[in-house]
Amino acid sequence: MAWISVKGRIDMNGSCHFEQLLEGIELTGNLLVDVRALFVRWEQPYTFQHCLAVSQKVRRLAGRFSVDTVEAETAGLLHDLGNVVPASKMVALAEALELDILPEERVFPGILHQRLSAEMAHHLFQIDSESILSAIGCHTTLKKGASPLDKVVFLADKMSWDQPGKAPFVDGLLNALGESLDCGALYYLDYLWERRSELSVLHPWLVEARDELLKNRSDF
């Protein structure tokens, strides 16, 4: 597997917000080693395994849909960094980082992990690629104007099912991907839309992404 090369040091402009997360960790510059160390330090080995699974899955999707595989694998590996932050502290951290927090994110702070993951990828691991940071930052909800990289990371995350049994949406999603990447993204968003009453919150980015894909489909 291949990932973007990193410098093995934190961005001092953002470090003050992440110092506690790095306690006991010495960054080496080896992205895989450093990400593993972070998750192990905060007792989240299962999240690390999920990130590995997403990185592997997204590499295959990226190759299939002509997306840069190195960027895709890097985004997959880093997409859940924010989960080392307790949900109870996510809003405070997002405020400290001066993120524009949506009302839905205050109601259900855990969904902020996608945006915090992008911040951590940038400040802790020196990821400067806007395309990688974008894919990390919308991997849970997708968003309007999503790039192909955004979409493959979004879908790889969902396809890397870590619950018992088979993902209930996977067969339909695979069929939709047989048509196009957009059809796959819309299929999964429709799956959520049909179950929106069961969601903790209906994130506006998800709604906007679905509306845009529906409009684009109707234009053809």
Domain ranges of the chain: 15-218
pLDDT band, very low/low/confident/very high, at 13 (cuts 50, 70, 90)? very low
From CA 33, how far away is CA 118, in angstroms rounded?
Answer: 18
pTM equals 0.92
Q: What is the rounded average pLDDT of the residues 133-160?
A: 98
| pLDDT single digits (tens) 100-121 | 999 999 999 999 999 999 999 9
pLDDT at 15: 55
**Angle, CA of 40, 45 and 51, to the nearest 5°:** 110
CB 77 within 8 A of CB 35: yes
Q: What is the rounded average pLDDT of the residues 70-92?
A: 97
Lookup result for tokens 């870590």: 162
15-218: CATH homologous superfamily?
A: Hypothetical protein af1432 (1.10.3210.10)
Percent of the chain residues topping a pLDDT of 90: 81
Structure tokens that stand for 193 in this block: 């839309």
- Give the Cβ contact number of residue 133 at 10 Å: 19
